[in-house]
Amino acid sequence: MAFRSDQACRACKKQKRRCDKALPECSLCQRTGRVCEYATGADHQPTARDWGFMEARLTELENRLAGSPTPGQALTSSSTACEFVDSTCGTGPGSVTSSFPSVGATPAYSIAGEPEPNLEARFPAPMFLDVDCYIWSGARLPAPHGAIPAPVLALLSQGNIVLDVSRDYFATIHTWFPMVSKKRMDMGLSLQNAGPDLAMLFLGMKLVTRPATDVSDCSLYTTAKNFLAGLESSGSVSLFCLQAMILVALYEYGHAIYPAAWMTIGACARYADVLCLAPGDHPILGQPATWTEAEERRRVWWSIFILDKLVSMGSRRRCLVPDPESEGRLPVDDEAWDCGEVSKALGYSTSAPYQIEQSSFPRLCQASIYLGRAISYARGNHAMSTSRVAEIMSLTQELTSFGVTVDTQSTTCGIEHRFTLLGPRCVARSALFIVLDRLTCPEKIGAEPGYVSQQGAKTQHELELQRQSMQVIETASDQLHALGLDVLSMLRTEGNVAQSQAHALGLVNPFIMDSLYAAAATFHWLAGESGQDGHRKAAADLDMVLDKLSSRWRLGSAYREMLMVYDVSARVEARMV
């Protein structure tokens, strides 16, 4: 297969001759014997040798991961990734060519150079201008098209980095946030329509598996953001692109990069709407060929739902992704999806009782639904009527019981599943703090941010709610204190077994830190009011847990800095300086 640049060579541009943009030299320069040069940007531009490395890396990934031939076409050892992409793009159900006229055929991806208007693969505007016309005409999404930036190409061409990155990702991030199909990747099915979007997905995997100690070097993050922007401007829309964007959003959330995290998650929600991933939407990507593929799409939507709730809870801002309908489906058992075991693929509805045992990701989805409800209550400024108090206490009871249920489930699991269940256990407690936070204060506090006191005394309903809320929050704080100490113990155990503390920290997701922070802030508050050493000790223990996690996720450091506001002893010392 011939590769082409996105731009004409210098000589053809100067002489205003038609250039076929062939690499490493165009046909005209080759025929006339002159030197063929393509304009270079600030970054080093890839050579034909660089492309050879990229082909080899992707081919190696396919050959080593593909345990069986892909449907309709078996990969031979001599076929390259680029040839495979070129021969299959537009034939699969998930990424197909547009039925609208195009100027000419181009490869699925090319070498990044000076940007030029993309006339070859326009996104079908009727999808937004007149969706009835789009569906009725049989128009389909164009295959992902665009340039792979030189820094990305250089990175993915290094040694076995593609295999190493995917291995690290599936061994850590995937265990607690499974939304990229490991089974489809193992079988090579996800590679059928591979193009620049697959390179972006690998880059997202590389980014999100980096520890906090490497975050100071933001070049990889900047490269990923620029690559995503380039794919968007080229009209590339695919599930790979969205999955990569979710990983970038997860990275931003885990390292407290704001407002980028807020904006990226919002973009993910919009992107999911473009692909019609919400339950009941028309399948713009086409009908999934397998149940595993359908489940992958469902998990991608749930991943955005979860991140949307998490990024909204601290600010109590409006969530963008609406709650699923009561008949909506939760993800199936994580191991069944990873292994492609259809016999164990039991997808319960979102209204199913929480007492039914679920694996960690469905549990995280359930906890996020509760979190969304808690945010809605916290945003409201309704009078504390009898019915309002009953609603809040009903949600509180559900959250408390859900947390205890998942706690009990965790005690019966091995250490690997205990790690994965940390997320739902803590997110449920975060929801408790959000819905009850201002209700625990002896003063009458309004719904606006900043703990602003209101005039007048609390009603009898509010006083009773204060008493019950304080009991629940103290109990939840004690539970989180025990959970935090358990996390430290698990990290020591797993670190010794794996001989890698970095790997062990990768098994802990950043979703747990908000609840640990809330519990620590509660203990600092109680210690400042009562002076009890037990409260100070518990706060110090949770501070230590956040310090430990901050070596993997900088979000921990951000929470530790905020805890200084609640630490009465620290405030007193600051005044004395």
- C-alpha–C-alpha distance, residues 134 and 156, integer Å: 37
Domain boundary among 284, 312, 327: 327
Would you say residue 44 lies in a domain? no
Residue 504 shares a structural domain with residue 571: yes
For residue 223, pLDDT beyond 70: yes
Q: What is the mean pLDDT of the chain?
A: 81
- Do 258 and 270 meet the contact criterion of CB atoms below 8 Å apart? no
Residue 319 shares a structural domain with residue 371: no
Would you say residue 477 lies in a domain? yes
Could you tell me where the DSSP H helices lie in 499-554?
A: 501-506, 513-530, 533-549
Least confident of 90-99, 341-350, 478-487, 529-538: 90-99
Residue 188 shares a structural domain with residue 268: yes
Would you say residue 271 lies in a domain? yes
- Do 515 and 427 meet the contact criterion of CB atoms below 8 Å apart? yes
Would you say residue 223 lies in a domain? yes
Would you say residue 53 lies in a domain? no
DSSP, collapsed to helix, strand or coil, labels residue 329 as strand
Residue 368 shares a structural domain with residue 409: yes
Helix, strand, coil abundance in the chain, percent, nearest 5? 60, 5, 35
- Report pLDDT for 215: 62
Residue 242 shares a structural domain with residue 363: no
- Read off the pLDDT of each residue in 77-106 and give the average, rounded to a whole number: 33
- Report pLDDT for 75: 32
Would you say residue 499 lies in a domain? yes
- Report pLDDT for 536: 94
Range with top average pLDDT, 16-30, 89-103, 476-490: 476-490
- C-alpha–C-alpha distance, residues 313 and 435, integer Å: 10
Residue 73, sorted as left (phi over 0), alpha (psi -120 to 50) or beta, turns out to be beta
Could you give the count of Cα atoms lying within 13 Å of 12 in the half-sphere of its Cβ? Answer: 21
- C-alpha–C-alpha distance, residues 56 and 275, integer Å: 31
Domain boundary among 327, 361, 391: 327
Q: What is the DSSP letter of 147?
A: E
Would you say residue 137 lies in a domain? no
Q: Which residues of 325-360 are buried (b: 16+ CB within 10 A; e: fewer)?
A: eeebbbbbbbebbbebeeeebebeebeeebeeebbb
Helices (H) and strands (E) in the chain, counts: 26, 2
Tokens representing 322 are 């609406």
For residue 576, pLDDT beyond 80: no
For residue 188, pLDDT beyond 80: no
Would you say residue 518 lies in a domain? yes
Residue 367 shares a structural domain with residue 301: no
- C-alpha–C-alpha distance, residues 369 and 372, integer Å: 5
For residue 105, pLDDT beyond 50: no
Residue 210 shares a structural domain with residue 259: yes
- Read off the pLDDT of each residue in 112-134 and give the average, rounded to a whole number: 64
Residue 315 shares a structural domain with residue 363: no
Q: What is the DSSP letter of 109?
A: E
Residue 437 shares a structural domain with residue 507: yes
Residue 359 shares a structural domain with residue 226: no
- Give burial (CB, 10 Å; 0-12/13-18/19+) of 576: exposed
DSSP, collapsed to helix, strand or coil, labels residue 159 as coil
Residue 195 shares a structural domain with residue 313: yes
Containing structural domain, residue 568? 353-576
Total number of domains in the chain: 2
**Tokens 């062939």 appear where?**
22
Residue 254 shares a structural domain with residue 376: no
Q: How many CB atoms lie within 10 A of CB 188?
A: 23
pLDDT exceeding 90 applies to what percent of the chain? Answer: 47
Q: What is the DSSP letter of 110?
A: E
- Report pLDDT for 96: 32
- C-alpha–C-alpha distance, residues 148 and 131, integer Å: 31
- C-alpha–C-alpha distance, residues 521 and 192, integer Å: 50
- Read off the pLDDT of each residue in 532-558 and give the average, rounded to a whole number: 95
- C-alpha–C-alpha distance, residues 314 and 555, integer Å: 13
Who wins on pLDDT, 577 or 242? 242
Domain boundary among 310, 327, 344: 327
